[in-house]
Amino acid sequence: MASKPNATVASERTPLINGESASSNGGHHHHHHIIGGHHSTRSAAYQFFFDANHTPGNGSDKFVIRSLAYTWHVTKVTLLSNYVNFLLIMVPIGIIAGRLGWSPTAVFTINFFAIIPLAAVLSFATEEISLKLGETLGGLLNATFGNAVELIVSIVALRDNQIQVVQSSMLGSILSNLLLVMGMCFLFGGLRHRGSTGNGTEQTFSAAVAQTTCSLMALSSASLVIPAALYGVLDQKDPSNGDRDRSILVLSRGTAIILLILYALYLIFQLRTHSNLFDPEDPAGIDGEEPEQPSMGPIAATVVLVVVTVLVAVCADYLVGSIDALVETTNISKAFIGLILIPIVGNAAEHVTAVVVALRNKMDLAMGVAIGSSIQIALGVTPFLVIVGWIIGREMTLHFETFETVAFAVSVLVVTYTVQDGKSNYLEGAMLLGLYIIIAVAFFATPGDFLDKATDLVTGGN
């Protein structure tokens, strides 16, 4: 590293730059220039391809060069933003696979892996815009786009009348955040900060935030239990009565409107009136970290956001379109695909972020990612999809399959008991992970068409 300044000085006197001939200098200078040139070339190449802070040509007086340099800079910063972005090669392959009609398994698998890095880039672009908007608007933007991938995939599935996939993916996103992400945060963070043997310590987070969010999760659980209970009562009275389905639909749409209003109140509560409750105990900068600076301008980040959203929609279209054929050939239920597989696509980058901050003992941030994302899905995205279905003529309801409803209610109950004291340890993390694995195995072990047929009877089929 110490030789870099010398290499820079030498490169400024290289014959390639100032037009001097090599023969005009002595042998010693000639050797010096060659070494400097090699260092300069290597340094320039690194700066051009891998330096996220600077790109040659950004300061050029020529508009064309400056524009091209900035375009490459934005592309480079975006590609280097996350380690999973090497999977972006799957995006064109997935689109080609869908267009050429490859096997359903290949189309699903390739587009599955294509959406993972797109979700990471989407999250990165959203954060870049948020840094310029301030805490309030930035928080609102993150709340809106935090689950954009799940929302896009669900809208595509809803358009294709894949009600089972939509419901399962919503529930799966909530469970993956509450049990998988939070469990991993508690487990790995607890192991890292467990204290000495016989004198163990626990990680702490805001108990007030945990209680508030758990109350909202209990409310969202009730919003699923009540339609299921009403359906059971009406089904016992007259199983063939068409009024039953209409009653469930009216209840679901009315509940969806109420949940969206409550979500708006929650955003006001979190971002405006009681934002002090949600402030991290160790915010960035206090422990010596520099405040994060955006890597690109808001306009460039918006362009990235739009382009990636379109690509996610295209890949999601092929992904959802291959589900029916995949279920027939592999005997995997739609419930398992929606509950376990699709949430992995949208939340992979988010999961890693939460675990990393938990390892750094910043549990408030980790809880904000895990529980905050669950609240967005339960009170924002799910009821919004009910309203979208209402608009486009799809009978999306809040009456989930009974097995799914029970699994969700039990999970919320376990999470509430786990986090209500504002402390966590690795044993609690192992418990949450264990419950998630139990639920995943239960849906995997279910025959491929059992839950699907049960749901088709409710939704009227495809």
pLDDT digits (tens, 9 = 90+) for 92-125: 999 999 899 888 889 999 998 998 888 888 878 8
The mean pLDDT value for 72-81 works out to: 78
Distance CA 145, CA 108 (A): 24
User: Which has the higher per-residue pLDDT, 35 or 419?
Assistant: 419
214-218, 281-285, 365-369: range with lowest mean pLDDT: 281-285
Average pLDDT, the chain: 77
Q: What is the DSSP string of 8-69?
A: HHHHHT-HHHH---GGGS-HHHHHHHHHHHHHHHHHHHHHHHT-SS--TTTT-SSHHHHHHH
Q: How confident is the model at residue 388 (pLDDT cuts 50, 70, 90)?
A: very high
**pLDDT tens per residue, range 348-374:** 766 777 888 888 888 888 887 788 788
Instruction: Report the range out of 2-11, 191-200, 262-271, 440-449 with the highest average pLDDT.
Output: 262-271
Region of 428 on the Ramachandran plot (φ > 0 left; ψ -120 to 50 alpha; else beta)? alpha
Q: Does residue 85 surpass a pLDDT of 90?
A: no
What share of the chain has pLDDT > 90, as a percent? 18
The mean pLDDT value for 270-283 works out to: 71
Fold for the domain defined by 81-459: A middle domain of Talin 1 (1.20.1420)
Q: What is the pTM of this model?
A: 0.75
pLDDT value at residue 361: 87
Q: How confident is the model at residue 31 (pLDDT cuts 50, 70, 90)?
A: very low
User: Which has the higher per-residue pLDDT, 39 or 210?
Assistant: 210
Distance CA 224, CA 379 (A): 11
